[in-house]
Amino acid sequence: MIARVSATTVFCLLAIAGSANAAGKTRTRNVAIVLYDHVELLDFAGPGEVFAAAARAGATGDEPAFRVYTVGRSKSPLISEGFVKIVPEFSIEDAPKPDLVVFPGGGVQSIVGDPALMAWARSAVDSSEIAFSVCNGAFVLGSLGVLDGKTVTTHFGAMSRLRSSFPKVTVQEGRRFVDNGKIVTTAGVSAGIDGALHVVARLLGRAAADETARYMEYRWAPEPYLAQSYASSK
Amino acid sequence: MIARVSATTVFCLLAIAGSANAAGKTRTRNVAIVLYDHVELLDFAGPGEVFAAAARAGATGDEPAFRVYTVGRSKSPLISEGFVKIVPEFSIEDAPKPDLVVFPGGGVQSIVGDPALMAWARSAVDSSEIAFSVCNGAFVLGSLGVLDGKTVTTHFGAMSRLRSSFPKVTVQEGRRFVDNGKIVTTAGVSAGIDGALHVVARLLGRAAADETARYMEYRWAPEPYLAQSYASSK
């Protein structure tokens, strides 16, 4: 098995080792969830629930581990893929600088085709600790050029298009998420939950992620090579 | 194993057999998702995603299987547990009559303590095909008296309180969901996804539920005694 461990995996283990050293940090990390018309509901609600629940599970005293907020092009209401009308808490004009920035999938052309939103996304990705995409949210990161040379994943239905759109990116099948250190991409829709729990484990330790999953009654099973690498406590 | 099949299970199998006969129906079912201040994000977004995706997966020609909408006390914005500001599509004054009515958990006192909302809930539950609770949304159904004499489930952290609040209700541990035919209750937060996929399988057949789960990249594993009972196609 060890012979099959990829460069990405090694990258990832190094990143985890680095953040494990940082475990115990008390600062609250800002988590910006980028919303837009036709965003897929569970793509943002999965990681949103994880980070909001982990804010408590990973808290140090009264200090929550995360401050989760929504960011839109403006504060006008938008409609998620289907049926939920949401008013973003912040616009790109006044959003706090994120430590983690989440790009859920859906009708991502609403982001990729909007120069002002892409300019904000570039700045947010550049200055963030982690940029996280769910599903075809990977097209946002791809369009920013930050996936070049990396191994990533996306929704199974978007893989061939991601490959042809970004030839310098290796798109991997059969993974719930792929962690490149700063860039974390997940497979479709519900896989955002697994990717977010992984990020919680990486930043705050396995116990905080387990407590979050338990609260959510989510059957979380991290990949074994990762599970061994998480700090056992925050 | 068969000796351990409960009265609830038999009830459930009869209900499934009944609805399997109805598989192939082309009508679009209305799915009302009841929102309120402090609703837990994934409690409503999980079933919301399932029914919205199954609307396509279970469609007959151009006729979607479900029309999913949100209902609030009013159309004023509300804040989900944490951080998402949502504007309900309908208020209790103008909401279409639901075939399925979903009560997600969270700060359910916002429903239970509101006589007008409870009056709407009673009418919606009475006239619906299925009333569905997630997590401590079971307290809404319990307060309406419709859980009396039934076996139900809820979030693990709410079980003892549900038992003491409603002594005529049997609260079962260790289940993702419990189906009483008209009343379907699920465990906490993410379990709403499993319960909703079960309802899709029951109403539209296993293939529609499998296709929905596949689209969502959700690892769905229905309980074996149920899996054998779903119609194989819609």
Q: Indicate whether A225 pLDDT > 90.
A: no
What is the ipTM score, two decimals? 0.87
Segment A149-176, tens digit of pLDDT: 999 999 999 999 999 999 999 999 999 9
- Residues in chain A with CB shorter than 8 Å from the CB of B156 are 217
Enumerate residues 6+ apart whose C-beta is below 8 A from A60.
A26, A234
Sign of CA dihedral A15, A21, A23, A25: negative
Interface of A with B in 162-201 (CB under 8 A): 176, 187-191, 193
Enumerate residues 6+ apart whose C-beta is below 8 A from B122.
B144
Whether the pTM exceeds 0.90: the reply is no
Tokens of A143: 């369009």
Q: Tell me the shortest Cα–Cα distance from B35 to chain A, in angstroms.
A: 11
- Residues in chain A with CB shorter than 8 Å from the CB of B45 are 41-42, 45-46, 49, 84
Contact A51, A200 (CB under 8 A): yes
Q: Tell me the shortest Cα–Cα distance from A127 to chain B, in angstroms.
A: 23
Check CB contact of B77 with chain A, cutoff 8 Å: yes
- What span, in angstroms and rounded, lies between the C-alpha atoms of B33 and A195? 27
Q: Tell me the shortest Cα–Cα distance from B229 to chain A, in angstroms.
A: 24
Check CB contact of A96 with chain B, cutoff 8 Å: no
* Complete DSSP assignment for B30-50: EEEEE--TTB-HHHHHHHHHH
User: Of B132, B151, B125, nearest to B192 (Cα)?
Assistant: B132
Across the interface, whether the CB atoms of A82 and B70 are under 8 A apart is answered no
Segment B179-231, tens digit of pLDDT: 999 999 999 999 999 999 999 999 999 999 999 999 999 988 777 777 777 87
| Secondary structure (3-state) at A76 | coil
Across the interface, whether the CB atoms of B89 and A70 are under 8 A apart is answered no
pLDDT at B233: 58
pLDDT at A19: 42
- In chain A the domains, ranked by start, together with CATH numbers, are 2-227 (3.40.50.880)
User: Which of the two residues, A145 and B13, has the higher pLDDT score?
Assistant: A145
Q: Tell me the shortest Cα–Cα distance from A197 to chain B, in angstroms.
A: 13
- Residues in chain A with CB shorter than 8 Å from the CB of B70 are 83-85
Enumerate residues 6+ apart whose C-beta is below 8 A from A220.
A194, A197, A209, A210, A213
- What span, in angstroms and rounded, lies between the C-alpha atoms of B76 and A44? 22
